Structure 1
């Protein structure tokens, strides 16, 4: 009887340990639903109001130890949910990110697939910060698909990164012409200061093959962070921006200014953005964002499809909520 009880206990412990091991190796499922109510007014061209899905996603990710100090990982993130209106939604119908890779403390990490490029991640801080999104972003062309990317470990605060996009004969964006645009980025972090410098070769069937160059600096002073950004590309445009972000408990306040000079026309446009964000809980936040944009030419449309009259001044007022897990 005792032997039977002991055997049963051992079997139960073995099964329990096996289940726990399997559970610890399960992938992580994550996602979010994002809603925004946005009012857009273009001087001389009317106004619109819209309740929209602002980028809801559903994803899965996983990593595991291949060998001591070496980890394999993958991520798959889907979007196109259109959570604001089921009549216009076909479910999840678009890809945001999908990649696999390996990483280690001694050699850094390398990953392959669709992801934000190393240039975008390091340089485009202001354009990526806001919820609704600025009309001024970047002047580079290398996309987020068919990428092979690498990031080194930190060498005394210095991190190096690179990416190459493999555009083969069958890729629609190359019009049957092979191309291999690449990016290089160096980031140096010391104490409260972080500085990143990057370039994109822009090789391919774009505006031209002139390189894009970018420089971003971030200085953290406790609850206050200040970011400066500059991007340039010959015969395309120059982009400059500055942003301050202040956190106060569960609240975040941000003010930014961006200006873009277009080389081909000599026109200039600029945008001021104010954000107030409140973290309701660990899984939910709400926000207000106000945008004021002006341009030398009539480049703004009240209708998102660009089918109405245009104007040279635009204001956007938006309120939104995000639930994520």
Structure 2
């Protein structure tokens, strides 16, 4: 549950909604609702660090606490917000408690669709990458990690506004921008700059397909500080058969500097066996910047102890030099 608090491992196997598996409504009156939710996640992992050999640790795995609220402005129009914070459950005494934010946003939704403003996951993350592997500890690579977009101060998540349309006959689209003003320390241009991202998806029966484009206009490479970093796009298709979900992805980072394009082709499957999920993914990665072609495999399983607690085991093979990134992890999560 590194990227979201959705309790899919429990909700899918036991027929519960994600909200009922994790949230407590602390106020619900006169059209105003406030929920408190969160989780504690702990894991033991052993991962190959390449030439340096294996590293292992009992670690926090994304423990989070959050609040979410909404109120009815008028029939057909709802205002809402969500805020989440992370803390290190493995070393809480010395880690500073709730020490970093995860996401925070507010918005309006209604018959017109949804407008959201704040800090939250990239659209390509939600619509393209997560359906392949939004696992507990190991995920296959994506164009963000391969192009070193992740961990740069989280700048791909903040200062965004997104409009998501209603569903019209199975079709839905989203449009958004990330604005970095002149006062922003991470602004890579000499003035205020607005990026552009967009996506579309279509669902018919058990099949869905989504496509997303992001111009990455607020990033820069190590040699040029002008926002001409490149473009990112991908397509993911999903098909569900009873308790089995199949997904396929094609994803690309189109670099604006020499020999740094990335292509990724992935297949994944997840099956709910009654007391949890078993899942796996295969991906072929072609990274020109590293002159690297490799095959990644991630396998895992969850087991639900109760409707609020589950365990998992996962393993990954990255096909890198000196087995870098290969590893295993086991863990436990409690949702509230």
Q: Name the TM-score, length of structure 1 as normaliser.
A: 0.84
Equivalent of residue 98 in structure 1, options 75, 93, 104: 104
Alignment partner, residue 55 of structure 1: 62
Looking at structure 1, the residues matched to 28 and 311 of structure 2 have their Cα atoms a distance apart, in angstroms, of 38
Alignment partner, residue 317 of structure 2: 292
Equivalent of residue 213 in structure 1, options 233, 236, 257: 233
Looking at structure 1, the residues matched to 117 and 293 of structure 2 have their Cα atoms a distance apart, in angstroms, of 37
Alignment partner, residue 121 of structure 1: 126
The alignment status of 1:229 with 2:249, answered yes or no, reads yes
Looking at structure 2, the residues matched to 179 and 24 of structure 1 have their Cα atoms a distance apart, in angstroms, of 38
SS, match of residue 90 in structure 2: coil
Q: Is the radius of gyration larger for structure 1 or structure 2?
A: 1
Looking at structure 2, the residues matched to 71 and 26 of structure 1 have their Cα atoms a distance apart, in angstroms, of 11
Equivalent of residue 142 in structure 2, options 120, 137, 143: 137
User: What's the CA shift for 1:116?
Assistant: 1.2
Equivalent of residue 173 in structure 2, options 138, 157, 160: 160
Alignment partner, residue 275 of structure 1: 300
Looking at structure 2, the residues matched to 135 and 256 of structure 1 have their Cα atoms a distance apart, in angstroms, of 7
Cα contact 1:197–1:216 (8 A) shared by 2: yes
Residues 168-210 of structure 1, C-alpha deviations (whole Å, 9 max, x = no match): 1111221463221111100000011000011001113423443
The alignment status of 1:184 with 2:194, answered yes or no, reads no
User: Alpha carbon RMSD of aligned pairs, Å?
Assistant: 2.0
Task: Check 1:261–1:88 CA distance in 2 against 1; reply closer, same or farther (3 A cut).
Answer: farther
Looking at structure 1, the residues matched to 164 and 88 of structure 2 have their Cα atoms a distance apart, in angstroms, of 34
The answer to which of 134-143 and 62-71 deviates more is: 134-143
User: What's the CA shift for 1:103?
Assistant: 0.3
Unmatched tracts of structure 1, length 5 or more: 1-19, 299-310
Task: Check 1:265–1:246 CA distance in 2 against 1; reply closer, same or farther (3 A cut).
Answer: same
SS, match of residue 111 in structure 1: strand
The answer to which of 109-118 and 188-197 deviates more is: 109-118
Looking at structure 2, the residues matched to 132 and 151 of structure 1 have their Cα atoms a distance apart, in angstroms, of 29
Unmatched tracts of structure 2, length 5 or more: 1-26, 150-154, 222-227, 256-260
Cα contact 1:38–1:51 (8 A) shared by 2: yes
Equivalent of residue 240 in structure 1, options 254, 265, 282: 265
The alignment status of 1:317 with 2:328, answered yes or no, reads yes
